[in-house]
Amino acid sequence: MAMAISSHGNNSKLIVALWGAFDRGSWVSPQLAVYLECLDPEFSLQAKTRAEQGCPVVPGPMRNSETPATEANEEVPTRWAGQRLRKVAEWFARPTRWENQLGEEMARQHVERRPDGPLQRSAKALAALIYLCSSRADCAEWVDQLRTNLSTRQLLGAEVHKADMIAAVYKKNLNDIWSDFHSGSVSI
């Protein structure tokens, strides 16, 4: 969120790095997808490409290998952005915020049942993208077609984390903080 409200939000290297983490089957793929929907002007195209392929997990390190260290150092957020990041993290970490919206039992299960392998990680990523794209006018037709595809339905059958609900809650929280920020009720 701090990146979204700072000058770094429109950074193409950041968007490439976020998609890279998403493609590697990150445990937080629903949250990454929500940020990407906000930050990437090409989100629909990128999501469609991945979803139609079944969101295959691309092997690689979980760190940002797309940006060389020398370039990354040029993009280090300012102290001001770092302070914003801490305040945003504090806002999201409010006690029981996640549990109240997602359900304490479901949140506990989500933490305990990390994705076991590439199949579950692909399924989690796909469910998040389908949820996010389902409300976008430029995606409606292909999302409907994708949902009727047998291989898509089989892959979604392996999804045990309710990534669509995670993305929904995360998107709502993101929209709430965005509204609070713009209304002035939260000073970051």
Predicted pLDDT at 173: 85
- Structure letter (DSSP) for residue 186: S
Residue 21 lies in a domain: yes
Residue 87 lies in a domain: no
Asked if the structure places residue 84 within a domain, the reply is no
Spatial contact of 175 and 135, defined as CB atoms under 8 Å apart? no
pLDDT at residue 84 in the model: 54
Residue 83 lies in a domain: no
Nearest-angstrom CA–CA distance, 185 and 125 = 33
What are the Cα distances from residue 60, in Å, to 25, 102, 116, 138?
10, 31, 16, 31
pLDDT exceeds 80 at position 152: yes
Structural domain harbouring 7 = 2-78+101-183
Q: How confident is the model at residue 133 (pLDDT cuts 50, 70, 90)?
A: very high
Q: What are phi and psi of 46, to 5 degrees?
A: -65, -45
Does the structure show a pLDDT above 90 at 169?
yes
CA separation for the pair 44, 146 (Å, rounded): 14
What contacts 177, CB < 8 A, 6 or more positions away?
1, 88, 91, 92, 186
- Residue 90 in any domain: the answer is no
Q: Which residues contact 26 (CB under 8 A, 6 or more apart)?
A: 32, 62, 121
pLDDT of res. 78: 45
Q: Per this entry, what is the length of the chain?
A: 188
Condensed to tens digits (0 to 9), the pLDDT of residues 61-106 reads 544 444 333 333 334 344 444 555 565 556 555 544 545 555 566 5
**13 close to 63: Cβ distance less than 8 angstroms:** no
Q: Confirm whether 94 is domain-assigned.
A: no
89, 148 contact by CB (below 8 A): no
- For residue 176, tell me if it sits in a domain: yes
Helix or strand or coil: residue 113?
coil
Extract the tokens encoding 126. 């796909």
Among residues 186, 168, 164, which one has the least CA distance to residue 177? 186
In sequence order, the 6+-apart residues with CB closer than 8 A to the CB of 85 are: 2, 3, 77
Model pLDDT, residue 65: 40
Q: Give a yes or no: residue 117 inside a domain.
A: yes
Number of domains in the chain: 1
